[in-house]
Structure 1
């Protein structure tokens, strides 16, 4: 399986469309499309951004799944969170912490 095939598979696993995957990698749609077609390869900075967005970069590069990879649902959620700006991310974190605290207190 080629890099482009694995990239498409990871994008689908995360529930992203090509433009979202391009944005997550900090590249334009055309550049992203050439990665999936196999015409070009991304640089390290793009791979790092995809890693931060929940892509299994070990799998993209080697074809070997990372044994500690998140579930599809968790990876998709993490990818969406990583696309938030700083203000939205802080709001999400605060609301999540409030939920966890109230849930934990209600069940003790």
Structure 2
């Protein structure tokens, strides 16, 4: 869990907030002193966390391209052609925009 949080560049407090828990609970999750519930994991998934990786240590499979809408497929095509630096910039930008729109709130998609 810590590795995924760090990959996303979040503090324990911010990561916990996205999951709906306080920093203390997040610390306990990362120390394996407490196990998160499904609502926490769903909220993190909605925030862009690879929950499959958090649970199993294996990265989630890629989404089949035919599962994407035309706009999503176009954006994905552009992103795949970017440098790693620009991909990270786009990831951070879209995360911030989704947060501002409230799309990261639990239950929204």
TM-score between both structures, scaled by the size of structure 1: 0.63
Deviations 1:13-63 (A, max 9, x none): 001011110111011111111001110010000000000011100011111
When residues 49 and 75 of structure 1 are mapped into structure 2, their CA distance, relative to the original with a 3 A threshold, is farther
Give the drift of 1:8: 0.5
Provide the C-alpha distance between the structure 2 equivalents of 1:77 and 1:38, rounded to a whole number of angstroms: 31
**Cross-structure match for 2:7:** 13
**Cross-structure match for 1:92:** none
Provide the C-alpha distance between the structure 2 equivalents of 1:46 and 1:75, rounded to a whole number of angstroms: 22
Task: Specify the SS of the correspondent of 2:16.
Answer: helix
The answer (yes or no) to whether the contact 1:24–1:53 under 8 Å persists in 2 is: yes
User: Does 1:46 find its partner at 2:44?
Assistant: no
Looking at secondary structure, tell me which structure has more helix per residue. 1
TM-score between both structures, scaled by the size of structure 2: 0.63
**Cross-structure match for 1:80:** 96
How many correspondences in the alignment?
81
Task: Specify the SS of the correspondent of 1:84.
Answer: helix
**Cross-structure match for 2:21:** 27
Taking only aligned residues, the RMSD between alpha carbons, in angstroms, comes to 2.5
Provide the C-alpha distance between the structure 1 equivalents of 2:48 and 2:62, rounded to a whole number of angstroms: 12
